[in-house]
Amino acid sequence: MKMRVLTHDHLGGGRLLVAVLMLFCSVHGVIAQDACVSNPCSGLGFCFERPGRTPNYACQCFGINRMGFGCLEVGSFDGVNRCFGYPSSSCQLTSFSSPGFPNTYPNGYSQMYQLYIQTATSIRFSFHATFSIDVNDDL
C-alpha cells in the first residue's frame, strides 16, 4: 500500500502499509549549525537542527538499521524509507509503498519509515481502503 506525506500547503490522499513509523516534525530546521557542532549523530548520520525542540537536532542515520537521535540505536529492519526534506524537496508531497504493492508484503517483513520535514506545521496521512495491520505484531 502507499502513503502520501503532505505538508501545510498540500492536500490529497494516498496509501500506506507501515511496519514501523518514526516521525520527526519541526517548524524550522537547517543543516549543521550550533546544535550539530558537537557531532550528536556520532558520525553515523547527517545532523539537522530543530530550533526550539528537545532535543534540538535530528539525525538522518546512515545504514539500514541505525536510528534514534544519536544513531546509536540498532533496529532490525528489512527495508528503510527516509525522507529528510527541505522546503523545496520531494518530501513536500510523496508516497511510500510496501514491498510488492499492491500484493501483500512477505511474512515477517519489517520496514521503517522515517520522516523529518523541517518546514511542516502539519503532516497528513491518507490510507488506502484496504489498509490493515498484523494485530499480533504491530500493536
pLDDT at 63: 80
State the DSSP H helix or E strand holding residue 60, giving kind and residue range, or none if neither.
strand 57-61
Total length of the chain = 139
- Cβ within 8 Å of residue 57, ≥6 positions away: 35, 36, 40, 41, 47, 48, 49, 50, 69
pLDDT in tens, 56-108: 888 888 887 888 888 888 888 777 777 776 555 556 666 777 777 778 777 77
Residue 135's contacts (CB-CB under 8 Å, 6 or more residues apart) are: none
Question: What are 43's three cell numbers?
Answer: 558520525
Please state whether the predicted TM-score (pTM) of the whole model is above 0.75.
no
